[in-house]
Amino acid sequence: MKKFLSLFCCVLILTLCACKSGTEDVFSVHSDITPTVTSSEVVESTPVSSEAPSSEPTSSVVPSSTPVSSAPPPPLPSSSAPVQSTQTVTKYNVEDPDNTRGLSTQKFGFAFGVASGGVPHNMSIENQTKFDGMQNVSALALDTKTPEKVMYLTFDNGYEYQNLTANILDTLKQKGVKAAFFITLSYAKNNKSLVKRMIDEGHIVGNHSATHPSFPSISRTQMANEIGRLDDYMKTNFGYSSPYFRFPSGEHSECSLELVSSIGFHSVFWSVAYTDWDTSQQKGAGYAHDTVTSRFHPGAVILLHAVSRDNAEALSRMIDTAVAQGYAFRTLDDYFKKD
């Protein structure tokens, strides 16, 4: 009996040890796995994120774990399937993939402040000063170089809504204004005729990443893959490529800014935007016109969401007001060729 009890105790102890060891192995294996980025694709630039601030920003640019902007993104329709971002793109030689230089990965939300009286908010001025002072970084939030009264019109397209992009393109063609449209991979795949029209009519089609992840939260190789997957698709299907990138939700870090520039892209932010992304909370074309035009200032980079009916209906008047105030619309090519 004593021998039996001794044997039973030994077996029990060995079993418990094995279970404990197995649990530790499971956790260690999981902790080594790089999470797959499956962010839903939405429009926006602080367009695409379902966690939107409820009010306009009132503080300066500060580190943040969530986007700090008055232009957060709308969630994609529930029927939209997320695109996996695990495909490897080999065309980019990612410099320092492990960030051995120790570039800061601290996440910054993008706050731009509300401009008024024809003057940019101090936040926008500080943003551009910060970008200009960073080594090996090319980024635009506000044009502080051009002496003339110019502005840049940009749209974020994460998904198509009620064919509003076609209406926007009609207005731009009528007014003779060129814009930049920042798109995701799902938009490119699902709206080929609209993307082709953008290109054919002389607009810039910018890169808003494949799946809209938070760039400071992923590796440098994943960042390059996010940009490269969309760029590869555009080259393969449209024979087109442009060197302009907009960070999902505006979330950026020193490391991610440097990575974007290192693979040949310019980062494009904004200095004018408003809460236009919620398709269920449109307030009318008059509201859109008055809100946007009240924030006009020289060098403005204007962000609008193409899912806003208010924007589509007010765009013609916005352009007329800008021209009447002496503004000229320039393209991103016009700005960056100065560098």
Examine residue 268 and state whether it is found in any structural domain, yes or no. Answer: yes
The pLDDT value given to residue 146: 97
Q: What's the Cα-to-Cα distance from 322 to each of 59, 70, 291, rounded to whole Å? A: 28, 22, 13
Burial class (CB in 10 A: 0-12, 13-18, 19+), 66: middle
The pLDDT value given to residue 92: 77
Examine residue 15 and state whether it is found in any structural domain, yes or no. Answer: no
Torsion (CA) 117, 266, 224, 181 in degrees, nearest 10: 60
Tens of pLDDT, residue by residue over 136-178, are 999 999 999 999 999 999 999 999 999 999 999 999 999 999 9
The pLDDT value given to residue 93: 85
pLDDT for 37 beyond 90 = no
pLDDT higher at 20 or 314: 314
User: How many other CB atoms sit within 10 Å of the CB of residue 287?
Assistant: 14
Task: Read off the CATH number of the domain in which 172 is found.
Answer: 3.20.20.370
27-31, 47-51, 99-103: range with lowest mean pLDDT? 27-31
Contacts for 16 with CB less than 8 Å, ≥ 6 apart: none
pLDDT for 48 beyond 50 = no
How many whole angstroms separate alpha carbon 130 and alpha carbon 141?
10
Examine residue 88 and state whether it is found in any structural domain, yes or no. Answer: no
pLDDT for 25 beyond 80 = no
288 is in which domain, residue-wise? Answer: 125-339
pLDDT for 235 beyond 70 = yes
How many whole angstroms separate alpha carbon 24 and alpha carbon 168?
56
Mean pLDDT (whole number) for 5-21: 42
Is 231 noted as a catalytic residue in this protein?
A: no
The pLDDT value given to residue 91: 62
State both tokens at 171: 């207005």
Examine residue 201 and state whether it is found in any structural domain, yes or no. Answer: yes
How many whole angstroms separate alpha carbon 134 and alpha carbon 113?
21
Q: What is the pTM of this model?
A: 0.76
Catalytic residue among 143, 156, 231, 276: 156
pLDDT higher at 307 or 3: 307
Examine residue 48 and state whether it is found in any structural domain, yes or no. Answer: no
How many whole angstroms separate alpha carbon 128 and alpha carbon 33?
37
Is 266 noted as a catalytic residue in this protein?
A: no
For the four alpha carbons of 224, 230, 233 and 237, in that order, the dihedral sign comes to negative
For the four alpha carbons of 205, 209, 210 and 211, in that order, the dihedral sign comes to negative
How many whole angstroms separate alpha carbon 197 and alpha carbon 202?
9
Q: How many domains does the chain have?
A: 1
For the four alpha carbons of 100, 104, 110 and 115, in that order, the dihedral sign comes to negative
How many whole angstroms separate alpha carbon 39 and alpha carbon 48?
9
The pLDDT value given to residue 272: 98
Catalytic residue among 232, 276, 305, 310: 305
Q: What is the mean pLDDT of the chain?
A: 80
Q: What's the Cα-to-Cα distance from 290 to each of 167, 293, 303, 321, rounded to whole Å? A: 20, 5, 15, 10
Ramachandran category for residue 217: left, alpha or beta (phi over 0 → left; psi -120 to 50 → alpha) = alpha
pLDDT higher at 145 or 21: 145
Examine residue 144 and state whether it is found in any structural domain, yes or no. Answer: yes
Residues of the chain above pLDDT 90, percent:
72
Nearest to 186 by CA among 67, 76, 71, 312: 76
State both tokens at 102: 């120790």
pLDDT band at 338 (very low <50, low <70, confident <90, very high): low
The pLDDT value given to residue 111: 95
Mean pLDDT (whole number) for 188-217: 98
The pLDDT value given to residue 47: 35
Examine residue 32 and state whether it is found in any structural domain, yes or no. Answer: no
pLDDT higher at 50 or 186: 186
How many whole angstroms separate alpha carbon 237 and alpha carbon 192?
9
Q: Which residue has the tokens 């919620």?
A: 278
pLDDT higher at 327 or 25: 327
Examine residue 176 and state whether it is found in any structural domain, yes or no. Answer: yes
pLDDT for 209 beyond 80 = yes
pLDDT higher at 339 or 117: 117
